[in-house]
Structure formats: structure tokens, C-alpha cells
A and B are shown apart, each in its own frame.
Chain A
Amino acid sequence: QSALTQPASVSGSPGQSITISCTGTSSDVGGSNYVSWYQHHPGKAPKLMIYDVTNRPSGVSNRFSGSKSGNTASLTISGLQAEDEADYYCTSYASSGTLCVFGTGTKVTVL
């Protein structure tokens, strides 16, 4: 099972919106309603931002939203803030046997 493909980096200015893509196959992202997104500040524990494609856990800002089309899931951050600068990982249920496959990770830079 290969890792899901994410862009290595995405950047934006404060207040702008950015979108991070997560591309898989019909055996994972395309065939699953179970896609989650994590924010990871280096040296800290990863934080769950989105689960089940579109749901936000309690306490997560509504500036974060998730969606999916075909084999690609997306995380959109609107009203970009300095504190959003971090690494972001998607993960999907995989029917092939891995159960849980992560994306390659995207570094978000706030200009």
C-alpha cells in the first residue's frame, strides 16, 4: 500500500485561503468515507482537524474544512493565520489490508 500523495508545500498570505490535496486510489480515498486530516507542529503531538471527510472535532476552528471528489480529498484553510503554519497529513481507510494509510505530508507556510 503506497502512501497517499500530497503536495510537498503550500503557502499563502495571512487572510487568504489555501487548499491541500490528498490523492489516492479507489482502494482508499476513492472508496472510503473515512478520510482524516492532522495538523503537526514540529516537536508536538499531531492534532486531529477533520474526520470522516468533512467533520470537525469539537474545538477545531471552522476555518478548517474537508471535502472529497473521486480519489482526491482536500483540506481547505480559510482566513490563513500565522498559527496555521505546520505540517498537515491526510489519512484514509484502505480496503487493501493496510487499514490506515497516511499521506506524504504538506508543509504549510504563512508568508
Chain B
Amino acid sequence: QLQLQESGPGLVKPSETLSLTCTVSGGSISRGTYYWGWLRQPPGKGLEWIGSIYNSGRTFFNPSLKSRVSMSVDTSKNQFSLKLPSATAADTAVYYCARHGGSGWTIFDFWGQGTVVTVSS
């Protein structure tokens, strides 16, 4: 069974870089035609797709965050990562990593449990 686990600081200071890593187990990130995505849910709000990365490094981002987001993949460690520089309070959220598949960009079939990130001084 595929499992995903987010890791990273739970507290980030404003203007610093929010960095998270997702470790995949139970399957290879290099196999199949899947993207690997990041999503978030701010307090009291709904889910938002941040972006997704293929094992080749090809990325697609939500246009609302595209100018700030970067993602990378490390197939040797079966991990992919998210970086969001210049963090603000608006980036406070539960962050999820998920496997992103299907031809219509709406299928996230395996998820991590989520990690809470608070942006505050």
C-alpha cells in the first residue's frame, strides 16, 4: 500500500522560506505516469491545489501561486519537496502531499496525513 508522509518545520517566520518534504513508501516515485502534488487547507477554508511534479522534474503550478512556488524531486530518496519563499500569515495551513493521477488533473488517490504549518514571528 502506497504511503506518503509530510515533514518539515511547523513554525516559519514571516518572510522566510516554507519548506516541506514528502516521503513516499510502498511504491516507487519513478514508476507509472503519476504526478506528485502538494495541496493545502488554511484554517476555516477549503482545499487548494498548489502544484504537482513528475519524476522527470516537470512541474505544473496553480497560477495563483506560480510566481512563488518551487518543487523538486529526489528519486533516489523517493521524495519530493515544496518551497514557498517569502512566507506570510496567509500561508498558514495544513499542507498535504498526494499522488496526482488520471487524465483530468482531479484525481488525488493517496494522501499524506497532513502537516500543520504556522507562519508567525
| 77-102 of chain B: CB within 8 A of chain A | 96, 102
Interface flag for B34 (CB, 8 Å): no
Interface flag for B63 (CB, 8 Å): yes
Rounded to whole angstroms, the CA-CA distance of A92 and B106 in the bound complex is 6
Q: Which residues on the B side are within 8 Å of A36 (C-beta)? A: 104, 106-108
Q: What class of interface size applies to chain A in its complex with B?
A: 20 to 34
Q: Which residues on the B side are within 8 Å of A102 (C-beta)? A: 46-49
Q: Which residues on the B side are within 8 Å of A103 (C-beta)? A: 46
Q: What class of interface size applies to chain B in its complex with A?
A: 20 to 34
Q: Which residues on the A side are within 8 Å of B109 (C-beta)? A: 48, 57
Stretch at the interface among A9-17, A27-35, A78-86: A27-35
| 80-111 of chain A: CB within 8 A of chain B | 89, 91-93, 97-105
Distance in Å from the Cβ of B47 to the closest Cβ of chain A?
Answer: 5
- Give me the interface of B with A, judged by CB distance under 8 Å: 46-49, 60, 62-64, 96, 102-109, 111-114
